[in-house]
Amino acid sequence: NANQSLAGQHWVITAGPTREAIDPVRYISNHSSGKMGFSIADAAQSFGATVTLIAGPVNLATPSNCNRIDVQSAENMHEVALEQTISADVFIACAAVADYKVAKISEHKIKKTSTNDEMSIELVKNPDIVASVAALKNKPFTVGFAAETQDVEHYAKGKLARKNLDMIAANDVAKQGQGFNSDDNALKVFWHNGSIDLPLTGKRQLAEQLVVLINDRMQDD
Ligand code: C5P
């Protein structure tokens, strides 16, 4: 690609689910495929950016020219994200991070017993990765994602403000044929004094539109 408009910029992108261990053989996770984040990484590198892709466990090929760092847990992703954002111009949090982790990971496989019909696992809150990046003194242009099933605009704008983001891309996961695991998606993107609807299309095409939008907004800030 002859377009080198992002040359010299470092873009850091999180993608996929996280995996929160319960014991050596079990975990808590979610259905994120990682497709949106991988598409954004590919779009950014195609415009000449240096891309670091921090990936949870997904079944996707690494886009060309991307430095991929595989992680498992949210804590793991948090650590790597903070390391990588020191030199980042843009941070995009596309990962579906588990909100809670297991309070005490069992060293051995938890056994089922004949006496207990019920069991419970204590969970504690994970660090909010995108909020901690946005709280850095030299924060990169920080973009969050919001998967909502209702009141998309209201919740997305709330997150934009609360997490101190520069931009948030919201998808309506209740709609058929878009969002989780799908090859297509539509986004409503919000920033402090504007918004735009990016209608339903393939994730790679949508990623390119989002990358261009981020670059435009960065110039204005
Ligand atoms: O609050 P909520 O989880 O809906 O916010 C979604 C956004 O926050 C996404 O950009 C997601 O990647 C990010 N996030 C994060 N760390 C968490 C939870 C969410 O970076 N622990």
What span, in angstroms and rounded, lies between the C-alpha atoms of 221 and 219? 6
* CATH superfamily, region 10-107+128-220: CoaB-like (3.40.50.10300)
Distance 14 CA to ligand 1 centre (A): 10
Mapped onto helix, strand or coil, the DSSP state of residue 178 is: coil
User: What atom of ligand 1 comes closest to residue 145's alpha carbon?
Assistant: 10
> CB atoms < 10 A from the CB of 195, how many?
14
What's the CA gap between 120 and 114, in Å, rounded?
Answer: 16
Closest C-alpha residue for ligand 1 atom 4: 146
For residue range 172-198, what is the model confidence (pLDDT) as tens digits? 777 766 666 678 889 999 999 999 999
**At 98, which helix (H) or strand (E)?**
none
| pTM confidence score | 0.95
How far out from the chain centre does Cα 28 lie?
17
CA-nearest residue for atom 1, ligand 1, is: 159
- 93 Cα–ligand 1 center, Å: 7
The per-residue pLDDT for 179 is: 63
Query: 173 CA to middle of ligand 1, Å?
Result: 15
Domain borders along the chain are 10-107+128-220
| Ordered per-residue pLDDT tens for the chain, 221 residues | 457 799 999 999 999 999 999 999 999 999 999 999 999 999 999 999 999 999 999 999 999 999 999 999 999 999 999 999 999 999 999 999 999 999 999 999 999 888 888 999 999 999 999 999 999 999 999 999 998 888 999 999 999 999 999 999 998 777 766 666 678 889 999 999 999 999 999 999 999 999 999 999 998 76
Residue 157's pLDDT is what? 96
Judged on CB neighbours under 10 Å (0-12, 13-18, 19+), 69 is middle
